[in-house]
Structure 1
C-alpha cells in the first residue's frame, strides 16, 4: 500500500473522523461536568464503573479491570482512585478472601455526586452528538453511536 492508496486514505479519514468525534464529545462533557459538579470525565467514568459493582460472585472489580473499563493505565487509575478517595468519594478495603487484593467502593457522598452529575453527563452527550451530527463527515459515526450498535466489520 502507498500513501495514495484509496483504501488507506479512507481508513485514515475514518480514523480521523472517529478521533475528532471522540474529542468533541469528551471536551463538551468535560466542560459540563467540571462547571456543574467539579468532576472530570475520567472521575465521572470511574465513579460510574465502581457504582455498578455488587456483592455477588464476581461483583467487585480488580484494579486492572477498573483501569480497562475507564481506559487508563493501572498507575493512572490508582492515582485517580487516590484523588477521589481523598475527596471522600471512594473508599478502599482489603478483599475478605484474598488479603493481597484491594477493592474500591463508592461512598455515599460519591453516589450522591454521581446521581447529581448523571443528568449533566447525559445532556452534554446528547448536545455533543447533535452538534457533531450536523457535520457531514461525522454524521455516519453519530448515527452508529446513537443506534447503540457496533459498526459491522
Structure 2
C-alpha cells in the first residue's frame, strides 16, 4: 500500500483539493467498514465534486458583488406587504429559465436590497450566475456601454 504522504502530494499537484481534504477521514472510515477499492475511489470523487461545486459558488458570489450576505430566511415578512410566496418562488430561479426580469420597487428601508441579494444568492447556489447593481451604477454602466456602441 502506498504511503499517505505521496498520495496527498499527488492530490495537491493535481489540484484535487476535495479529495485531499477528505482523504484521512474517508480512509479511516473505509478501513473500519471494509470498503472495496472502487467504493473508496467513488467516495473520493464525490468529495472532489462537492469541493469544486463549493469553490464555484464562492467564486460566483464574489464576482456577483452582493452588498452583503443576506438570505430569504433572514427576511422578516411579518408586518410587510411583501409577498413571501412570490419571493420564495423567485429564489428558486425559475424566472431565469423563462428569460424574465425582476424589478423590486419600494421606498427606503422596505427590504429591496435584502430581497435582491437573497434571491441572487439563492440563484447562484443553484449554479446560476448573477451580478448586483444599484440603479445609479447600472445606469452609468448602460450609458458607458451605449457611448462605446456595445
Report if TM-score (shorter chain) is over 0.5: no
| TM score, norm. by length of structure 2 | 0.34
Higher strand share: 1
| TM score, norm. by length of structure 1 | 0.33
